[in-house]
Amino acid sequence: MNPQEYIRNQIQSALAQLAIPVSDIKQLNLEKPKQEAYGDLATAIAMNLAKEQKRAPRKLAEQIVSRLNLDPLYVEKAEIAGPGFINFYLAKHCLQQSVSSIVQQGAEYGRSQWGQGRSIQLEFVSANPTGPLNIVSARAAAIGDVLANCFALCGFDARREFYVNDAGRQIRLLGRSLSSRYLTALGNEQPVPEDGYHGLYLQDLALEILQRDGDRYADLSEEERDARFSALALEYMLERQKSSLDKYGVHYDLWFRESRLREGQAHRAVLEKLEKAGLSYHQDGALWFQSSKFGDEKDRVLITSAGEPTYFLIDIAYHQNKYERGFDQIIDFWGPDHHGYIDRMRAALLALGHPADSFQVSIIQQVNLLRNGQPVKMSKRAGEIIEMDELVEEVGVDASRFFFVDRRISQPLDFDIELAKKQTDENPVYYVQYAHARICNVLRYAQEQGRTLPEQADVSRLENEFELQLIKKLIDYPEVIARAAQYLEPHRIPDYLQELATVFHRFYHENRVVIDDEELSNARLLLCQAARLVLANGLKILGISAPETM
RNA sequence: GCGCCCAUAGCUCAGCUGGAUAGAGCAACGGACUUCUAAUCCGUAGGUCGUGCGUUCGAAUCGCACUGGGCGUGCCA
């Protein structure tokens, strides 16, 4: 049990003795005070409960503290301060023991049982298969992947999914655009449709097809040729997107195809359910869903007057399918241009009887691409995109993933290409990686000096401020991971790793590890191993390498 | 018009979901290598938390109204 859990349990049982039920775990928030003088952990729970309990905050705090049964080996003291904070001071022994504990847990350190095996699905990127992945997808990919890692570590069965819009108008247009390129390559000049896809990747593909298959598609009817090229272009794009993500270290459990839903007529079951519930109606020749009954601003069309299912209906069927596959929790990551879509999807899932909190949408704000401070207009149609591959090659997987995850999701991200190239050496990822490499070097040096890396040590020798500060930072790690998942805020991890690196560098600067006092030296070596593990575990969550030398 | 996101140090951003004296990193300035990696460390400087009301013991955080920036608002996908 880590110190945070221990203290939480203690507070909870104290409150139980006072007959104050705490339903909301958030009320039991433990924070790290800004001032070191205020202890290692603090809670504002007495103040939060004071109002509803109609008691004076400090008095309530006293009642809580007097009912705490703290093991002095764990918590040295609990103090009431200010308007009613309860400040906890961790015992040295507790801190020291955590070093052994971390080393023992190794790669498992950071794991929690919060998820209790519940299944959770994260759908992210889901870019149209009409072009190479761009820089926006790179942000979404990094975020989704890291959060999936976090959930898995928190005891969830986390699955990654990519929804492939492989049906409908844009695919036909893609086929038509490729067809034009093909015919043009054959000398029969054909303009790419104005609203088609003008990117040069289709020209490359057309030449590839021409080389492989010759002119055998030239004599097909226009309709047949478009269909043929739609299929060819689609598979090509999918492979290309997969390869980009693969290079980026993102691997999906499932690439779910929209066509699978259409072929299975999955939307019919949805229509039936909504109709049975009396939540759909006909008007103006179309079939409507009463989404306004479930919090949407107006009703939405399910079947157009032309008799076609709308994209919305298919998307409902897709989400229904997710539930049918047994997921307890569904999280979608969408672009800002889809925020208007959230209410109607939520309405549909409520109407279908799914619990409100089982479906979450997180909007990942846009990436503004700059070149020398000037905005670059991104348009898939015009083909003026900066490809994800280009970025990854220029900046590297490690730096780009770190960069994309290191900001709040809700924050738009300015990405200056030239700046990113220049800043390569200054990127904080190197700072964190350097800390890891530095530790590896110390461990290597110790072995070169004939020392054996200890599996245990007399950790009570770790007691100066630099050692203790480093330990305090190390024990924060599981909470950081859990909170990153809970709030869908992956940026907490790189932020934390930077802080950890700072504390380590300071420790390193002030304490020589390999020294004559073998007992102390071993204790510090153990501490170094613990620090290395946490850095390595954190970097692994981010999908970033942890180099042994730099 | 309506809705969503955003506004914190010169720049890029945190601020633990209402707490204690608002913090980092770059950039600037001044220090520290005879040492296990100086890709490091220490210090200095830098703030009307966009503006104004309000809610309360307490607001960068919540509410309302403004200002400014971005994006939505189809029987499109």
**Tens-place pLDDT, residues A96-120:** 999 999 999 999 999 998 899 999 9
Establish whether the CB of A128 is closer than 7 Å to any nucleic acid atom in strand B: yes
Residue A36 pLDDT greater than 90, yes or no:
no
Establish whether the CB of A168 is closer than 7 Å to any nucleic acid atom in strand B: yes
User: How confident is the model over A255-276, as pLDDT tens digits?
Assistant: 999 999 999 999 999 999 999 9
Residue A341 pLDDT greater than 70, yes or no:
yes
Residues 82-111 of A with CB under 7 A from strand B: 82-85, 87
User: What is A361-401 written as a DSSP string?
Assistant: EEEPPPEEEEETTEEPPP-TTTT-PPBHHHHHHHH-HHHHH
Q: Provide, in whole angstroms, the distance separating residue A368's CA from nucleotide B31's C1'.
A: 40
Q: Provide, in whole angstroms, the distance separating residue A250's CA from nucleotide B8's C1'.
A: 34
With beta carbons less than 8 A apart as the criterion, state whether A93 and A6 touch.
Answer: no
User: How confident is the model over A468-484, as pLDDT tens digits?
Assistant: 999 999 999 999 999 99
Query: What was the pLDDT predicted at A382?
Result: 42
User: How confident is the model over A218-247, as pLDDT tens digits?
Assistant: 999 998 999 999 999 999 999 999 999 999
Residue A71 pLDDT greater than 50, yes or no:
yes
Establish whether the CB of A446 is closer than 7 Å to any nucleic acid atom in strand B: yes
What is the ipTM metric for this complex?
Answer: 0.94
With beta carbons less than 8 A apart as the criterion, state whether A289 and A299 touch.
Answer: yes
Max Cα distance, chain A (Å): 89
Query: Of all residues in chain A, what percent carry a pLDDT higher than 90?
Result: 67
pLDDT tier for residue A349 given thresholds of 50, 70 and 90? very high
Nucleotide nearest to A302 (CA to C1'): B75
SS3 for A200? helix
Q: Which residue is the nearest neighbor of B75, CA to C1'?
A: A304
Question: What is d(CA A283, CA A301) in angstroms, rounded to the nearest whole number?
Answer: 9
Residue A4 pLDDT greater than 90, yes or no:
no
CA angle A161, A163, A165 (to 5 degrees): 170
**Cα-trace Rg, chain A:** 28
Query: What was the pLDDT predicted at A379?
Result: 43
User: What is A229-284 written as a DSSP string?
Assistant: HHHHHHHHHHHHHHHHHHHTT---SEEEEHHHHHHTTHHHHHHHHHHHTT-EEEET
Q: Provide, in whole angstroms, the distance separating residue A488's CA from nucleotide B16's C1'.
A: 13
Establish whether the CB of A491 is closer than 7 Å to any nucleic acid atom in strand B: yes
User: How confident is the model over A501-537, as pLDDT tens digits?
Assistant: 999 999 999 999 999 999 999 999 999 999 999 999 9
Compute CA A57 distance to the chain's CA centroid, rounded to the nearest angstrom: 38
Query: What was the pLDDT predicted at A376?
Result: 63
Residue A378 pLDDT greater than 80, yes or no:
no
With beta carbons less than 8 A apart as the criterion, state whether A320 and A269 touch.
Answer: yes
* Average pLDDT value for residue range A370-379: 60
Q: What are phi and psi of A150, to 5 degrees?
A: -60, -50
Residue A134 pLDDT greater than 90, yes or no:
no
Q: Report which residue type is found at A446.
A: A
Residues 199-258 of A with CB under 7 A from strand B: none
Q: Give the CA count within 13 Å in the CB-facing half-sphere of A441.
A: 11
* Average pLDDT value for residue range A163-184: 91
Residues 6 or more apart whose CB falls under 8 angstroms from that of A53 comprise: A20, A60
More confident residue, A87 or A390: A87
Nucleotide nearest to A287 (CA to C1'): B75
Question: What is d(CA A55, CA A469) in angstroms, rounded to the nearest whole number?
Answer: 36
Beta bridge partners of A419: none
Query: What was the pLDDT predicted at A425?
Result: 63
Establish whether the CB of A172 is closer than 7 Å to any nucleic acid atom in strand B: no
Residues 131-150 of A with CB under 7 A from strand B: none
* Average pLDDT value for residue range A495-500: 94
Q: Provide, in whole angstroms, the distance separating residue A125's CA from nucleotide B6's C1'.
A: 22
Whole-prediction pTM:
0.94
Structure tokens at A219: 């004599």
Distances (CA, A) of A399 to A31, A133, A435, A494, A543: 30, 18, 15, 11, 10
Distances (CA, A) of A278 to A268, A271, A311, A534: 15, 10, 21, 55
Query: What was the pLDDT predicted at A237?
Result: 94
User: How confident is the model over A296-324, as pLDDT tens digits?
Assistant: 888 999 999 999 999 999 999 999 999 99
Residues 6 or more apart whose CB falls under 8 angstroms from that of A423 comprise: none
Nucleotide nearest to A304 (CA to C1'): B75
More confident residue, A338 or A435: A435
Query: What was the pLDDT predicted at A381?
Result: 40
Query: What was the pLDDT predicted at A149?
Result: 97
Strand B positions closer than 7 A to protein CB: 2-7, 12-27, 35-42, 57-58, 70-77
Q: Provide, in whole angstroms, the distance separating residue A474's CA from nucleotide B31's C1'.
A: 30
Question: What is d(CA A95, CA A102) in angstroms, rounded to the nearest whole number?
Answer: 11
Instruction: Round the average pLDDT of chain A to a whole number and report it.
Output: 90
Residues 265-294 of A with CB under 7 A from strand B: 283-286
Q: Tokens 């999936």 sit at which residue?
A: A148
Q: Provide, in whole angstroms, the distance separating residue A35's CA from nucleotide B49's C1'.
A: 20
Residue A547 pLDDT greater than 50, yes or no:
yes
pLDDT tier for residue A24 given thresholds of 50, 70 and 90? low
Q: Report which residue type is found at A258.
A: E
pLDDT tier for residue A89 given thresholds of 50, 70 and 90? very high
